Amino acid sequence: MSVNIRNRRAWGAQFTIPAGRHVAPAQRRFFVVHWPGGPIGSDIPAMIRSIERFHRVNQGWAAAPGYNFLVGPGGTIFEGCGRDVRGIHSPPRNTDGFGVCVLIAPGQQVPQAARNATRALYEWLCQVSGRRLNMSWHGQHVATACPGPALTQWVRNGMPANLSGGGGGGGGTAPPRFPGRLLRQPPVMRGQDVRTFQAQLNRRGWGSVMGSVDGAYGPRTANAVRGFQRNQRITCDGIVGPVTWPRAWTGSGGGPIRGGCR
């Protein structure tokens, strides 16, 4: 599982987002779960385009879709109005909250793939925001039945999911459980979790970039991680979180890339 996000161009967005709606991730405090409240077809990009048209044409909203992100039932994450854009999804939380629409129909349970992707998205947004975001749902902020009983209960339960899943050809070895802390520098972080991740990067051929497997998360390890992330086409920030960690065991891809993110 990864937070590869299908951008607006990839799903065929028909409208642009006007300037002047920028919100820095550091301003965010909430992760607000929504649902569409109607049937879900098999063509998810077409459904997102219909949401976009409704929000822009019928509602007259500048940010369309009004959600920052949408998550398909199969676990694909779609860019809505975007990470750094003030959404239009819940009046009290448009600026300080990320609006995330999980595409399930009324009466439908939340598919495991959608749970996994939504939770991975949450963890990534916590990482880029620099804080643990408040897990919440639309009806917690305004009087509405959104996002329905199944999603509401899932959020109430703490959004449980399986973050160790993945795909690809990293040797077929199941990843050890994510240790729970983000590995980053500066300052240099030390521990067995660092050593475990370094050892796996070394097995994947990144030893020449990373240097010694010494349990110290310093500049060389961070540079190797950035190259690995770029190789995997995931967020390239040099931080090992719940998305990057399992990819060291499950991700496919070629050899080392020098020069970090670009």
CATH value at residue 225? 1.10.101.10
Q: What is the CATH number of the domain that holds 67?
A: 3.40.80.10
- What is the CA 140 to chain-centroid distance, rounded? 22
176-212 in b/e burial notation, b at 16+ Cβ within 10 A? eebbeebbbbeeebeeebbebbbebbbebebbebbbe
DSSP, res 23: -
**137 lies in the same domain as 12:** yes
> Does residue 120 share a domain with residue 145?
yes
Residues 209 and 256 in one domain: yes
pLDDT, one tens digit per residue, over 112-155 is 889 989 999 998 999 899 998 999 999 999 999 999 999 999 99
Q: Are residues 125 and 180 in the same domain?
A: no
- The answer to whether 239 and 223 are in contact (CB under 8 A) is no
- Domain co-membership, 178 together with 237: yes
Angle (deg, nearest 10), helices 192-201 and 219-232: 50
50: Cα separation from own chain's centroid: 23
Shared-domain flag, residues 172 and 104: no
Q: What pLDDT band is residue 168 in, cutting at 50, 70 and 90?
A: very low
* Residue 170 scores a pLDDT above 80: no
Examine the domain organization and report whether 101 and 76 are in the same domain. Answer: yes
- Cβ atoms of 29 and 60 within 8 Å: the answer is no
Domain boundary, last residue among 156, 189, 219: 156
User: Of 156, 182, 201, which residue sits at a domain end?
Assistant: 156
Cis peptide before 219 (omega within 30 of 0): no
φ and ψ of 196, to 5 deg: -60, -45
Please check whether residues 136 and 18 belong to one and the same domain: yes
Domain span at residue 11 reads 5-156
Quick one: 40 and 97 in the same domain?
yes
User: Which of 112, 137, 156 is the endpoint of a domain?
Assistant: 156
Q: Which residues contact 62 (CB under 8 A, 6 or more apart)?
A: 17, 18, 21, 88
Q: How confident is the model at residue 162 (pLDDT cuts 50, 70, 90)?
A: confident
Residues 152 and 170 in one domain: no
Contact 227, 152 (CB under 8 A): no
How many domains are contained in the chain?
Answer: 2
Q: What are phi and psi of 235, to 5 degrees?
A: -50, 125
Residues 173 and 45 in one domain: no
pLDDT, tens only, 46-97: 999 999 999 999 999 999 999 999 999 999 999 999 999 999 999 999 999 9
Which of 3-12, 97-106, 231-240 has the largest mean confidence? 97-106
Q: How far apart are CA 210 and CA 229, in angstroms?
A: 13
> 200 and 133: one domain?
no
Average pLDDT, the chain: 88
CA distance 75 to 252: 19
**pLDDT in the model for residue 200:** 86
